[in-house]
C-alpha cells in the first residue's frame, strides 16, 4: 500500500468541512488516514480484496490523498476526497503521482480549463507548477513502460523486471530534486514485500547525476 499527497484542486468538499475533519482528528474523535491504513495492514485474518478497499474508501470520511493498493495480479489507485472517492484499477500497469486523472484529458482545452484559477478550490495550494510537474512525471513513467517491448514481437509488452523499475525510478523527472528515497515493493515477496530501497541526494535537473 502507498499514501501520496493530493491537493484539493478538484475537491467536492468545502474548506470548512476539511478543517472540521482535521479538528476531529486532533481531538481523537476520528482516526487519521495513516491510522486507517495501519489498521488494514495490521489487522488479523486475510487481507481485504481490492474491491473491499474500493468500497471502504468510497464510503469513509478521510483526508484527501492518493491511495495505492496492489495484489500480485492487479493494482488499485484511489483519488480520495473527504467524503467520496474515484477509483482506477488495472491488471497490467498503473501509475499515480500528484494529480487527478481528470487533468490528463485528451482534449487540451478541457485539461487547461481545469487549471484555471476559477476552478481551483479555495483553500487548496493550487500550484500549477506542481500539477504540471506531476503530469510530466507520470507521462515519463508510462513512456518507459510502453517502451518495454520484445524486439521480435514489437506489439507485445514484456514483464518489467526489478532492474527495469530501478532504472525508471532513477530517471528524471520521476526522480528529481525533491525525491528523498525510492523503493520497490512486491506484494508477492516474502518478508513484507519490500524488495529494494535507495536514498537520494539532491540534484538540480535532468543533466545532473543523482547520488545514492
* Prediction pTM value: 0.83
> Is residue 201 scored above 80 in pLDDT?
no
Q: Which helix (H) or strand (E) holds 77?
A: strand 75-80
CB count in 10 Å sphere of residue 54: 20
CA nearest neighbour of 139 among 180, 168, 181: 168
Who wins on pLDDT, 189 or 35?
A: 35
> Is residue 154 scored above 80 in pLDDT?
no
Among the residue ranges 59-73, 139-153, 158-172, the one predicted with the least confidence is: 139-153
Who wins on pLDDT, 25 or 205?
A: 25
> Is residue 206 scored above 70 in pLDDT?
no
Among the residue ranges 7-16, 66-75, 202-211, the one predicted with the least confidence is: 202-211
In this structure, the strands spanning 153-157 and 149-150 are: antiparallel
Q: What mean pLDDT value characterizes the chain?
A: 85
Q: Cis peptide leading into 173, omega within 30 of 0?
A: yes
Name, in order, each residue with C-beta under 8 angstroms of 121's C-beta and a sequence gap of 6 or more.
8, 9, 10, 11, 15
With cut-offs at 50, 70 and 90, classify the pLDDT of residue 204: very low
Pairwise CA distance, residues 202 & 136, whole Å: 19
Each residue of 33-58: pLDDT tens digit?
999 999 999 989 899 999 999 999 99
Each residue of 118-130: pLDDT tens digit?
445 554 555 778 8
The stretch 166-182 carries a mean pLDDT of 95
Each residue of 79-120: pLDDT tens digit?
999 999 999 999 999 999 999 998 886 555 555 555 554 445
> Is residue 73 scored above 80 in pLDDT?
yes
> Is residue 148 scored above 90 in pLDDT?
no
Measured CA to CA in angstroms, residue 11 lies from 32, 33, 79, 120, 143 at distances of 18, 17, 10, 9, 29
Residue with cell 491488471: 91
CA nearest neighbour of 61 among 6, 24, 101, 10: 24
Amino acid at each position: 500500500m502507498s499514501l501520496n499527497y493530493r491537493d484539493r484542486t478538484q475537491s467536492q468538499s468545502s474548506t470548512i468541512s476539511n478543517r472540521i475533519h482535521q479538528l476531529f482528528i486532533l481531538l481523537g474523535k476520528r482516526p487519521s488516514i495513516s491510522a486507517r491504513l495501519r489498521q488494514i495492514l495490521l489487522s488479523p485474518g486475510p487481507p481485504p480484496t481490492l474491491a473491499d478497499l474500493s468500497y471502504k474508501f468510497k464510503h469513509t470520511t478521510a483526508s484527501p490523498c492518493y491511495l495505492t493498493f496492489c495484489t500480485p495480479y492487479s493494482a488499485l489507485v484511489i483519488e480520495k476526497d473527504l467524503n467520496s472517492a474515484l477509483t482506477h484499477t488495472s491488471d497490467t500497469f498503473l501509475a499515480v503521482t500528484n494529480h487527478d486523472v481528470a487533468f490528463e484529458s485528451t482534449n487540451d482545452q478541457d485539461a487547461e480549463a481545469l487549471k484555471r484559477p476559477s476552478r481551483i478550490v479555495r483553500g487548496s495550494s493550487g500550484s500549477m507548477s506542481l500539477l504540471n510537474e506531476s503530469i510530466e512525471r507520470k507521462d515519463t513513467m508510462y513512456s518507459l513502460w510502453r517502451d518495454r517491448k520484445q524486439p521480435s514481437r514489437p506489439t507485445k509488452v514484456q514483464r518489467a523486471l526489478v532492474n527495469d523499475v530501478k532504472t525508471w525510478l532513477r530517471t528524471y523527472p520521476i526522480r528529481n530534486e525533491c525525491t528523498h528515497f525510492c523503493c520497490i515493493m512486491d506484494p508477492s515477496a516474502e518478508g513484507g514485500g519490500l524488495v529494494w530501497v535507495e536514498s537520494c541526494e539532491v540534484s538540480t535537473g535532468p543533466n545532473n547525476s543523482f547520488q545514492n
